[in-house]
Chain A
Amino acid sequence: METTNYMILGYAVIFVVLALYLVSLAVRRRNLQRDLGMLTQLDKKTNRIRAKSKKRRR
């Protein structure tokens, strides 16, 4: 029975699904790292402003 095309289709699906999942992991990681960087900077700024206003009150 000639079933080579089905075998190729099967393995194409396997590697495409795995590749898409790897890409999704990489994209989500990149976006989270970008968010983390922004939020850390924001957190530092907020802390500095709070420290300054505390000093002024004293």
Chain B
Amino acid sequence: MAKRVVQGRPRLLSVLNVASVLLMVAATLMVFLYAPRERVMGEVQRVFYYHVSAGWVGMAAFVAAAVAGIVYLVRPARKWDVLAVAAVEIGLVFSLINIVTGSIWAYPTWNTWWTWDPRLVTATVMELTFLAYLLLRQSVEDPERRARFGAIYAILGSLTVPLTYMSIRIWRTIHPVVIGSGDPGAQGTFAFTSPMVYTLLVSLLAFTVLGATLLWHRVLLGKLADKVEQLRLKALGL
């Protein structure tokens, strides 16, 4: 066991750290040097690669939190609660990137920073739902009750993920659809060329590895926080 741990960190995590940096560098180089300039939208279309990738990681993280919640309810163990909180935090960071970059892309394309489009609204509702998860958890003192509350909330909150994903497929929208066919009224769609597809795939891979790496770091932080809390309670004689 000691051989697999480098400076209190699992060796696989060190490998993931390096892989994340290399993949992010590769993805960034592809975005700026390999992917062609889109004819109509111009340079701002390059935001699309990281916008989609961040959205994917954000949604995957929220689903991971719900899965951890289900496992916690079936087999209550602190580690599942720690994982759920970590996943929600990672989901919030990446979803924030997704929403803000979407808004920046929208201004030159739709001529507005924000519009009450089903995708924009559902994505924001998803972000706010999980932001509330973190805030509401803090109001519950007892760790067991807090974890149970968190698990149920994460499961219910995760319903916003398929809602966000499907919003551009079931309602009238101006948001483009990347996979499958979208609303004919969508504004900002473009024809994919092979370099664009490869760049998107590498960006998705880079963000997935980065998300997993950050999730692991956040889980380690959660475990450390647990240890500190236990020692604090012991010191207080509770």
| Residues in A lying within 8 Å of B, measured CB to CB | 1-4, 6-7, 9-11, 13-14, 17-18, 21-22, 25, 28-29, 32-33, 35-36, 39-40, 42-43, 46
Contact = CB atoms under 8 A, between A and B. Distances in A.
Contacts, number: 86
Main secondary structure of the interface of A (DSSP, over half): helix
Contacts of A2: 42
Interface of B: 40-47, 50-51, 54, 93, 96-97, 100-101, 104-105, 107-108, 210, 214, 217-218, 220-221, 224-225, 227-228, 231-232, 234-235
Lowest 5 A-B CB distances belong to which pairs? Answer: A3-B44, A10-B47, A39-B231, A3-B42, A7-B43
26 contacts: A1-B40, A1-B41, A1-B108, A3-B45, A3-B108, A4-B42, A4-B43, A4-B44, A6-B44, A6-B47, A6-B108, A9-B104, A11-B46, A11-B50, A13-B104, A14-B54, A14-B97, A17-B96, A21-B93, A25-B214, A25-B218, A29-B221, A32-B224, A35-B232, A40-B231, A42-B235
A55 B224 CA distance: 34
A32 B214 contact: no
